C-alpha cells in the first residue's frame, strides 16, 4: 500500500480531475441519498406519527361525547377501543398516576415491554420514535380534559418496529449502493481520464527522447488526438525548429571562433616559447610571467581544439582513420607518456596475448591520455592509477581505475555533458574546462564503442571503454 501511495503524484492532472469529478459525484449521490431517505421516512414513519397525533387530538372529544351517554369508566373504554388497531396502544392515568383506562390489546405485547411502557409518567406532545426492548414505538402524550375537568394524562403508543426496521435497512442498502456507485464511477472516470490524457503522455515521451543531434529532423506527430493536443504538438514542432536553428547557429559560431582564434594563439604560443628559450636578457619576474602566459596560451589552444573537434562531430565532419591496432602496445605507449609528465605510479594489468581492435590510433591515444590525466588530477598523490586491459566475448575492455575522491551518484549521469563539472572550485584549480569527458565520449562513440563510469564517494572511479574486437 505504501508503495502505491509513493507512486501517486498529488500534482498530476489525472489525479486532480479524477478526485474532482469523484467528489462532485459523491456530493450529488449523497444529496440524492439524503433526499430519498427523507422521502422514505415520510412514507414509512411520519404517517404513523401523524396518525398517533390525530388519535391524541380526537380522543378527548370522543370521551366527552361518550361520558354523557354512559358512566365515565365505560365512556373511557369505549372511546379508547374505537380508536385502536393491532399496533396502537392507549392508556390513561389519573392525577395520582394510576391507570384508570387502557386498550384491550395489551396482551399482544410482552410483559416486560408492557411494564416499561406503562411505567412512563411523561410523554412528548409531539410524537417521537423510541426503542423499547429491541422494538420501535411512536410515543405521544397529552392532558385529558373533559368539560374543563382534568381527568388525567393520555398516553398513545404505536408499534412501528416493522416499518422502522424496513426504513433502517433501506437507508443502509442505499448507503452501500451509493458507495459502490461512487467507486464504480471513480474507476470509470479514472480510466476515461487516463485514455484522454494518453496523447499528452505520448507527446511527453516523444519529446523526452529528442537529443541535440535529432533537432534538425525532429518532428512530433499524433494522428488520433484532441484538437487542443494537436495544437500543442504544432507549437512543440515550431519550438523544435527554432531550437534547431539556434543550435546550428551556435555550432557554426563555435566552429568559426575556434578556427579563427587557434591560428593566432598558436603563433603567440610559438613566440612565447621562442623567447623563453633565450632567457639570458630576461629578469626572473619576466620569465615567470612569460611561462604563465605560455601555459595559459597552450591551455586555450587545447580548449579551442576540443571545441573544434566537437563542432566537427556535431556537423558530421569529424573523420576517423580506422585501422587495426594492438591495444597492448597502445596502452603501454600511453602509460609511458603519462609517466613522463607526472610523478605518479601508473600500473598496467593486461593479458599476455594481444588484443586487436579497429580504431583510430591517435584518437584512442587522446582518449586514454585524457582519462589517465583526470585520474591523476582527481586522486591523492600517494595512490596509484591502474589501467586494465581485457577481452570479454567480442569486445575489448579498457578500464582506468583511480582511488580518488569519487563522483556523487547524482552527477554521474551528466559528467559526459559539455562544460559540466562536478566541483567548479576543484575544476578551476586543476585547469579543467569541462570538455574532456565530452570529447572522450564523442571519440569513442565515433569509433563504434562506448564509455561508462562507476564511482563511489571516497573510493574512487572506474571509467570503462568498450570497443568491438577486430574480426580475424
- What residue spans in the chain does CATH classification 3.30.565.10 cover? 322-468
**What DSSP assignment string belongs to 88-100?**
EEEEEE-TTS-EE
Per residue in 70-101, pLDDT (tens digit) is: 888 888 888 888 888 888 888 888 888 888 88
**What DSSP assignment string belongs to 99-112?**
EEEE-TTGGGS-HH
Report whether 379 contacts 372 (CB < 8 A). Answer: no
pLDDT given for residue 258 in this prediction: 67
Span 7-170 CATH architecture: 2-Layer Sandwich (3.30)
- What residue spans in the chain does CATH classification 3.30.450.20 cover? 7-170
Choices 3.40.50.920, 3.30.470.20, 1.10.287.130, 3.50.50.60: CATH for 227-315? 1.10.287.130
d(CA 218, CA 206): 10
- Residue segments in the chain with a per-residue pLDDT below the cut of 50: 1, 5, 425-429
Fold of 322-468: Heat Shock Protein 90 (3.30.565)
523544435: which residue's cell?
240
pLDDT given for residue 242 in this prediction: 85
Per residue in 146-170, pLDDT (tens digit) is: 777 788 888 888 888 888 888 888 8
d(CA 193, CA 20): 12
Report whether 468 contacts 395 (CB < 8 A). Answer: yes
Rounded to the nearest integer, the mean pLDDT of the chain is 81
What SS3 class is residue 403? coil
pLDDT given for residue 452 in this prediction: 92
Cell of 88: 396502537
CA-based Rg of the chain, rounded to a whole angstrom? Answer: 48
324 Ramachandran zone, left/alpha/beta (phi>0; psi -120 to 50): beta
- What residue spans in the chain does CATH classification 1.10.287.130 cover? 227-315
The set of residues, in sequence order, having a beta carbon less than 8 Å from that of 69 and lying 6+ positions away, is 75
What SS3 class is residue 47? helix
Report whether 387 contacts 400 (CB < 8 A). Answer: yes
pLDDT given for residue 429 in this prediction: 47
List strand residue ranges (DSSP E) for 361-415, in order. Answer: 385-392, 395-402
d(CA 167, CA 170): 5
594489468: which residue's cell?
349
Amino acid at each position: 500500500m505504501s508503495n502505491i501511495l509513493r507512486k501517486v503524484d498529488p500534482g498530476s492532472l489525472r489525479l486532480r480531475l479524477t478526485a474532482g469529478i469523484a467528489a462532485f459525484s459523491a456530493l450529488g449521490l449523497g444529496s440524492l441519498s439524503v433526499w430519498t431517505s427523507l422521502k422514505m421516512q415520510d412514507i414509512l414513519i411520519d404517517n404513523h406519527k401523524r396518525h398517533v397525533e390525530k388519535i391524541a387530538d380526537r380522543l378527548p372529544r370522543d370521551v366527552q361525547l361518550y361520558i354523557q351517554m354512559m358512566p365515565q369508566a365505560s365512556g373511557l373504554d369505549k372511546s379508547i377501543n374505537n380508536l385502536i388497531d393491532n399496533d396502537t396502544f392507549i392508556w390513561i392515568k389519573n392525577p395520582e398516576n394510576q391507570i384508570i383506562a387502557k386498550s384491550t390489546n395489551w396482551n399482544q405485547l410482552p410483559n416486560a415491554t408492557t411494564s416499561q411502557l406503562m411505567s412512563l409518567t411523561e410523554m412528548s406532545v409531539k410524537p417521537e420514535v423510541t426503542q423499547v426492548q429491541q422494538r420501535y414505538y411512536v410515543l405521544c402524550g397529552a392532558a385529558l380534559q373533559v368539560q374543563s375537568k382534568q381527568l388525567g394524562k393520555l398516553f398513545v403508543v404505536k408499534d412501528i418496529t416493522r416499518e422502522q426496521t424496513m426504513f433502517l435497512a433501506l437507508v443502509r442498502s442505499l448507503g452501500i449502493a451509493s458507495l459502490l456507485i461512487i467507486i464504480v464511477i471513480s474507476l470509470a472516470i479514472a480510466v476515461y481520464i487516463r485514455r484522454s490524457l494518453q496523447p499528452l503522455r505520448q507527446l511527453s515521451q516523444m519529446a523526452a527522447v529528442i537529443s541535440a543531434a535529432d533537432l534538425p529532423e525532429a518532428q512530433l506527430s499524433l494522428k488520433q488526438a484532441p484538437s487542443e493536443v494537436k495544437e500543442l504538438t504544432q507549437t512543440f514542432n515550431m519550438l523544435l525548429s527554432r531550437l534547431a536553428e539556434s543550435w546550428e547557429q551556435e555550432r557554426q559560431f563555435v566552429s568559426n571562433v575556434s578556427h579563427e582564434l587557434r591560428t593566432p594563439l598558436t603563433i603567440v604560443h610559438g613566440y612565447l616559447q621562442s623567447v623563453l628559450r633565450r632567457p639570458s636578457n630576461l629578469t626572473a619576474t619576466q620569465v615567470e610571467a612569460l611561462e604563465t602566459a605560455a601555459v595559459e596560451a597552450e591551455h586555450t589552444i587545447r580548449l579551442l581544439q576540443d571545441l573544434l573537434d566537437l563542432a566537427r562531430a556535431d556537423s558530421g565532419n569529424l573523420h576517423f582513420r580506422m585501422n587495426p591496432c594492438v591495444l597492448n602496445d597502445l596502452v603501454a605507449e600511453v602509460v609511458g607518456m603519462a609517466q613522463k609528465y607526472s610523478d605518479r605510479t601508473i600500473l598496467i594489468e593486461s593479458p599476455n596475448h594481444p588484443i586487436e581492435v579497429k580504431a583510430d590510433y591517435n584518437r584512442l591515444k587522446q582518449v586514454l591520455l585524457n582519462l589517465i590525466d583526470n585520474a591523476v588530477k582527481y586522486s591523492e598523490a600517494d595512490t596509484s592509477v591502474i589501467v586494465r586491459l581485457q577481452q570479454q566475448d567480442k569486445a575489448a575492455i579498457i578500464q582506468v581505475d583511480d582511488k580518488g575522491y569519487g563522483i556523487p551518484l547524482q552527477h554521474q549521469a551528466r559528467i559526459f555533458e559539455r562544460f559540466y563539472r562536478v566541483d567548479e572550485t576543484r575544476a578551476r584549480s586543476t585547469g579543467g574546462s569541462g570538455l574532456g569527458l565530452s570529447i572522450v565520449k564523442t571519440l569513442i562513440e565515433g569509433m563504434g564503442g562506448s564509455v561508462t563510469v562507476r564511482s563511489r564517494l571516497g573510493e574512487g572511479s572506474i571509467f570503462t571503454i568498450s570497443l568491438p574486437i577486430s574480426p580475424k
